[in-house]
Copies of this chain bind each other. A is one copy, B any other.
Amino acid sequence: MRTREAGAGPLERGDQTRRHILDVSAVLFAEKGFAGASFTDLVQASGLTKGAFYFHFPSKEALALAAFADQQERWVEVVSRVADPSMKAVDQLAAMLRAACDFYETEVAARCVSKLCFELGEDPRLRPTLTPYLSIWEELIASIIRRGQVEGDIRGDVDSGAVARVSVAAWIGMNDVARVVSDGADFRARAEEFLEILMLGLRPVVAGETRGGSR
C-alpha cells in the first residue's frame, strides 16, 4: 500500500522495518486506540521480536507519536493532491472533503490520527506535539475560504478562521459519531450534509434574490 519510498530506491533494512512497524501499528491504534492497543499486541502484530521492535520504538508513546505524524503527513498529501490552481475555491473545498472521505473509507490506518490526537492529548505534555494537526487544517481551510471571498463565491463578511475552526471540529465530531453509529459507514453522508449546510450560510446573497424561506 505504501509505495512512495519504494519508488525512491531500495530501502535500508532498518528503514523497511521501521516503515512496517508504523503501518501495522497505525491500523491497531485506529482500531483499538492508544490505551486499547497493548505493547504486546503491537509487537505481535509486527511479527518481530521484542528486541527488534524496541530497537526502533523504545515506548508505546514514542511509537504512537511517530504513527500519528506519519499518518497525518499522508492525510495532508492525499487531500492537497486534489488542489488545482485552476479550481475555484468553493470547488476545491468540496473536492478536498471528498478526497478525505475516500481516504477515510479506504485506509483504516489513517483513522488513527484523530483517535491518537485526542487520546494522547489528555496528557498536557504531549499537546504541543499534537495541536499542529488541528492548526494545519484550520489554516488550509481558512486560506481557501479567503480565496473564495476574493472570487466572490463566499460572502465577504464571514470570519474565515471561524469557518475553518468549525469545519475541523465538525469533521472530528462526525468521525466520532459515525464510528459509534455505523462503524464509519455513514461518515461520507454526514460529511456531505455538513458541507451542504455550511455552504448555505457562506454563499453570498445578491440583491433581489429569494432563498426559499418558509413564508
Contacts and interface: CB of A to CB of B under 8 A. Distances in A.
Contacts of A52: none
Interface size class of A (residues with CB under 8 A): 35 or more
B180 A130 contact: yes
Nearest to A33: B122
Interface stretch (A74-82, A95-103, A203-211): A203-211
Given A163-B197, A166-B194, A173-B172, A179 B121 contact: yes
Contacts of A165: 177, 190, 193
A181 interface: yes
Given A176-B176, A213-B155, A162 B208 contact: no
Contact of A172 (B122, B134, B176): B176
A206 B198 contact: no
A86 interface: no
Contacts of A154: 214
A166 B172 contact: no
A32 interface: yes
Contact of A33 (B119, B179, B193): B119
Interface of A: 32-33, 35-36, 117-119, 121-122, 124, 127, 130-131, 134, 149-150, 152, 154-159, 162-163, 165-166, 168-177, 179-181, 183, 190, 193-194, 196-215
Given A172-B173, A206-B213, A207-B208, 19 more contacts: A33-B122, A152-B213, A152-B215, A156-B213, A156-B214, A157-B212, A162-B193, A163-B197, A165-B177, A165-B193, A169-B170, A169-B194, A170-B173, A173-B174, A176-B176, A201-B201, A204-B214, A205-B210, A207-B209
The 7 closest A-B pairs by CB, nearest first: A204-B213, A173-B173, A201-B201, A156-B214, A35-B35, A200-B201, A121-B180
